[in-house]
Amino acid sequence: MSEVREALQAVRDRVARAARVVGRDPGEIQLLLAVKTLPAERVREAIAAGAHLLGHNRAQELTATAPDLADLPHEMHFIGRLQSNKAGKVVPLVSCVQSVDGLALAERLDRLAGREGRELEVFVQVNTSGEGTKAGVAPEDAVALAVAVAALPNLRLRGLMTIGARSDDVDVVRACYERLAMLRDEVGASGAPGTAGARELSMGMSGDLEVAVAAGATMVRVGTAVFGARPTG
- CATH number for 113: 3.20.20.10
Flag whether 232 is in a domain.
no
DSSP H or E segment with residue 138:
none
Beta strands in 101-187 (DSSP E): 120-125, 155-161
The pLDDT value recorded for residue 1 is: 53
Flag whether 30 is in a domain.
yes
The pLDDT value recorded for residue 129 is: 94
Running along the chain, 233 residues long, what does each successive block of 10 average in pLDDT? 88 97 97 94 92 96 94 96 95 98 98 97 97 94 98 98 94 97 98 96 96 98 89 57
Residue 65's domain spans which residues? 3-226
The pLDDT value recorded for residue 228 is: 86
The pLDDT value recorded for residue 229 is: 80
Q: What is the 3-state secondary structure (H, E, C) of 37-94?
A: CCCHHHHHHHHHCCCCEEEECCHHHHHHHHHHHCCCCCEEEECCCCCHHHHHHHHHHC
Q: What SS3 state is found at 173?
A: helix
Domain count, the chain: 1
Flag whether 103 is in a domain.
yes
Flag whether 176 is in a domain.
yes
pTM, 2 dp: 0.95
- Give first-to-last CA distance, the chain, whole Å: 31
Flag whether 231 is in a domain.
no
d(CA 154, CA 136): 21
Flag whether 215 is in a domain.
yes
